[in-house]
Amino acid sequence: MSILIKNIDCLVTCEGSHRKKGKEMNDANIIENGFVFIENDIISAVGKDEEYKSYIDEDTIIISGKGKTVTPGLVDPHTHLVYSGSRENELPLKLNKVGYIEILNMGGGILSTVENTRKASLDELVAEAKSRLNIMLNHGTTTVESKSGYGLDLETEKKILEVNKRLDKTHPIDVVSTFMGAHAIPKEYKGDREGFIKLIIEEMIPGIAKESLAEFIDCFCEEGVFTTEECRKILEKGREYGMKLKLHGDEVESVKGAELAGELKCISAEHLIAASDEGIKALSENDVVAVLLPSTAFYLMLGKFARARDMIDNNVAVALATDCNPGTSPTESMQNVMTFACFGMRMLPNEIINAMTINAACAINREKSVGSIEKGKKADIAIFNSKNLNYLVYHFGINSIDKVIKNGKIVVDRE
Ligand code: NIG
Ligand code: FE
């Protein structure tokens, strides 16, 4: 089976299989009047003008790219996809200026989602997460990372990671698993944080590794949640068990999370709204991908965003993600994230698209197979109703997707 997308006004290839940093982030390798030829599930040719003619036969499905922007399928490298329920009840509290960590310490926030998630069956969680994945796919996302962390006991953490596994097998979107037991201290360990950390280190990490349920490990390193020292201990244990390291760091306050991510040579450090100058330097020197989540910064009403410009100027590879979760970013749409990245952090459209494709793939160790449109990569492609890339970011608040191709199959067609 073959598909040709021809006469594409704006073919954004994001070519390369490496982290793009500094000035390189402002080149998205755009081809005007380009084409992409797909055979089975792989991209077999990319080019310009009429060169496609030698590839097609009578069975080729032909899609016109006139008036379209075509990009690699978007990669969302930071989500909390699997949970039960919602938290709109926190809105009035937030509007009355009760802080995020304050709500958590009152037993709300993450802990209220933990309660719902523990009660839900595996099938119920699959159904809820599947409907989120459907929305993601409809908005152009073809690969997501999904963190556990609404279980906070071994049984429920495993259940969440099993949901990821099930969805990865059954849904068109590829789901990559991260274990994040260190997301909050559960109520049964209130006043005994050492006991909970011991549980993570001695039971959860070995139990999850034994069943190969997670490729990555992450911790919430934040004032009032887990300290830098606690995160170091947990991440080092994860590494011992073969997991690659990620860190939620400096989301609300600077606690030297970025510095720790640099020191441990994490694959990525995420959030970073309050990261210090030294932290940014540590990310740059140690090749850590900065995964920024501007819809979360907006939703937390902090009045500030992560310093994307300073990071790019300091040669940090920046990626972008939704942080899809019920508390601080209830959205599935990477197109929303484009808006906040541009108008909140002043990222340029070229930088934004590299941050959502190839750099996002680097943050989850998938850069060899996805994140760019080039020969030999998976045929994961988003076709937008936008005449150029600037227009895609400029026209906000709508779903600009025309079609989505995943593994060489048209899985969304909104024409
Ligand atoms: O990335 N920071 C911690 N975790 C999520 C929020 C989780 C929640 O509030 O339910 C985040 O912001
Ligand atoms: Fe998060």
Assess whether 255 and 356 both reside in one domain: yes
Least distant ligand from the CA of 115? 1
* 327 is an annotated ligand-binding site residue: yes
pTM for this structure?
Answer: 0.98
* 395 is an annotated ligand-binding site residue: no
| Predicted local confidence at residue 293, as pLDDT | 98
Q: If you measure from the C-alpha of residue 325 to the centroid of ligand 1, how many angstroms do you get, rounded to a whole number?
A: 6
Assess whether 218 and 303 both reside in one domain: yes
| Predicted local confidence at residue 108, as pLDDT | 87
**Which tens digits make up the pLDDT trace of 144-154?**
999 999 999 99
**Which tens digits make up the pLDDT trace of 107-139?**
889 999 999 999 999 999 999 999 999 999 999
Assess whether 254 and 239 both reside in one domain: yes
| Predicted local confidence at residue 70, as pLDDT | 99
Least distant ligand from the CA of 297? 1
| Ligand 1 atom nearest to 327, measured from its CA | 9
The protein residue whose alpha carbon is closest to atom 2 in ligand 1 is 220
Assess whether 81 and 10 both reside in one domain: no
**Per the structure, how many domains does the chain have?**
2
Assess whether 58 and 197 both reside in one domain: no
Assess whether 408 and 344 both reside in one domain: no
Three-state secondary structure readout of the chain? CEEEEEEEEEEECCCCCCCCCHHHHHCCCEEEEEEEEEECCEEEEEEECCHHHHCCCCCCEEEECCCCEEEECEEECCCCCCCCCCCHHHHHHHHCCCCHHHHHHCCCCHHHHHHHHHHCCHHHHHHHHHHHHHHHHHCCEEEEEEECCCCCCHHHHHHHHHHHHHHHHHCCCEEEEEEEEECECCHHHCCCHHHHHHHHHHHHHHHHHHCCCCCEEEEEECCCCECHHHHHHHHHHHHHCCCEEEEEECCCCCCCHHHHHHHCCCCEEEECCCCCHHHHHHHHHCCCEEEECHHHHHHCCCCCCCCHHHHHHCCCCEEECCCCECCCECCCCHHHHHHHHHHHHCCCHHHHHHHHCHHHHHHCCCCCCCCCCCCCCECCEEEECCCCHHHHHHCCCCCCEEEEEECCEEEEECC
Q: If you measure from the C-alpha of residue 80 to the centroid of ligand 2, how many angstroms do you get, rounded to a whole number?
A: 6
CATH code where residue 387 lies = 2.30.40.10
Domain boundary among 323, 343, 364: 364
Q: If you measure from the C-alpha of residue 194 to the centroid of ligand 2, how many angstroms do you get, rounded to a whole number?
A: 23
Assess whether 224 and 322 both reside in one domain: yes
Assess whether 343 and 379 both reside in one domain: no
- Ligand 1 probe mutation, 88, 102, 110, 146, most atoms within 8 A of CB: 110
| Predicted local confidence at residue 105, as pLDDT | 86
* 150 is an annotated ligand-binding site residue: yes
Q: If you measure from the C-alpha of residue 229 to the centroid of ligand 2, how many angstroms do you get, rounded to a whole number?
A: 20
Assess whether 377 and 320 both reside in one domain: no
| Predicted local confidence at residue 107, as pLDDT | 83
Arithmetic mean of pLDDT over the chain: 97
CATH code where residue 248 lies = 3.20.20.140
* 183 is an annotated ligand-binding site residue: yes
**Can you list the residues of the chain whose pLDDT is less than 50?**
none
Assess whether 23 and 162 both reside in one domain: no
Assess whether 339 and 395 both reside in one domain: no
**Which tens digits make up the pLDDT trace of 365-393?**
999 999 999 999 999 999 999 999 999 99
Assess whether 41 and 94 both reside in one domain: no
**What is the CB < 6 Å shell around ligand 1?**
80, 109-110, 113, 220, 248, 251, 296, 323, 325-328
| Predicted local confidence at residue 100, as pLDDT | 87
| Ligand 1 atom nearest to 248, measured from its CA | 2
Least distant ligand from the CA of 296? 1
Least distant ligand from the CA of 225? 1
**Which tens digits make up the pLDDT trace of 29-72?**
999 999 999 999 999 999 999 999 999 999 999 999 999 999 99
Q: Which range of residues forms the domain containing residue 249?
A: 74-364
| Ligand 1 atom nearest to 78, measured from its CA | 1
The protein residue whose alpha carbon is closest to atom 8 in ligand 1 is 327
The protein residue whose alpha carbon is closest to atom 12 in ligand 1 is 328
Q: If you measure from the C-alpha of residue 248 to the centroid of ligand 2, how many angstroms do you get, rounded to a whole number?
A: 7
